[in-house]
């Protein structure tokens, strides 16, 4: 079976890391070679950019600078990890990808979607996932999960206001509604095992 590329997306506290781990385990149990990765990150260069982006030190980055840095990290990630893995037939599961840039720097930060996608075309030759799983929860559920997970410690992006995160969530929803051939919205409330079963149901089409 040829390689497949799946991105897990959504706002803060929706369970992307947990669901990515459970999905990887399920796919490996089917005998597939699975590469799990994250954005920003996945390669040494991209992880260095991640540290700059998410650090709470200094005065931070504007939306345009953020978009450029995310695009640079993604370009390195795609060239050195994602494309080679797909070429050898592996399944790549990525915790966030370009739709996070569209939602955070676009929907949240005010950049146009065209600008974000132009950077993606330049940096990563426009590579898109075969399937983007959008995990969705109510804001109060996300807040409770983050409080349990992180306490009072947040990174630079997590710590932005509720209005910002509401714009991000609305942007994700809009992408999924306008690109249903690539997106699947999954209700991420409930136990991890129940959510995992919902994720498997939307991934099933790639396994046939």
Structure confidence at residue 54 as a pLDDT band (50, 70, 90): confident
d(CA 25, CA 79) in angstroms, rounded, equals: 25
> Range of 134's domain?
5-207
Q: What does the pLDDT read at residue 59?
A: 76
Residue 97 predicted with pLDDT over 80:
yes
Count of structural domains, the chain? 1
Cα distances (angstroms) measured from residue 118 to each of 42, 102, 115, 122 = 22, 11, 5, 6
The verdict on pTM exceeding 0.85 is yes
Mean pLDDT for all residues in the chain? 90
Query: Which residues, at least 6 apart from 141, have a Cβ–Cβ distance to it below 8 Å?
Result: 13, 189
The CATH number that applies at residue 88 is 3.40.50.300
Query: Which residues, at least 6 apart from 98, have a Cβ–Cβ distance to it below 8 Å?
Result: 74, 116, 117, 120, 124, 128
Average pLDDT, stretch 18-40? 97
d(CA 123, CA 115) in angstroms, rounded, equals: 12
């Amino acid at each position: 079976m040829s390689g497949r590329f799946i991105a897990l997306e959504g706002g803060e506290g929706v369970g992307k890391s947990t669901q990515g781990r459970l999905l990887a385990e399920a796919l490996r149990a089917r005998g597939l070679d699975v590469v799990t990765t994250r954005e920003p990150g996945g390669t040494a260069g991209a992880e260095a950019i991640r540290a700059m982006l998410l650090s709470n030190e200094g005065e931070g980055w504007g939306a345009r600078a953020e978009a450029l840095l995310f695009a640079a990290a993604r370009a390195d990630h795609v060239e050195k990890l994602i494309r080679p893995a797909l070429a050898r037939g592996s399944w790549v599961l990525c915790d966030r990808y370009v739709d996070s840039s569209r939602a955070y720097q676009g929907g949240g930060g005010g950049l146009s979607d065209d600008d974000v996608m132009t950077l993606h075309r330049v940096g990563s030759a426009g590579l898109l996932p075969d399937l983007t799983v959008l995990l969705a929860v109510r804001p109060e559920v996300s807040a409770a999960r983050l409080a349990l997970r992180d306490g009072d410690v947040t990174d630079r992006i997590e710590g932005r206001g509720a209005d910002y995160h509401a714009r991000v969530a609305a942007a994700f929803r809009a992408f999924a509604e306008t690109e249903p051939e690539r997106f699947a919205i999954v209700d991420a409330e409930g136990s991890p095992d129940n959510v995992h079963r919902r994720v498997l149901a939307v991934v099933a089409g790639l396994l046939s």
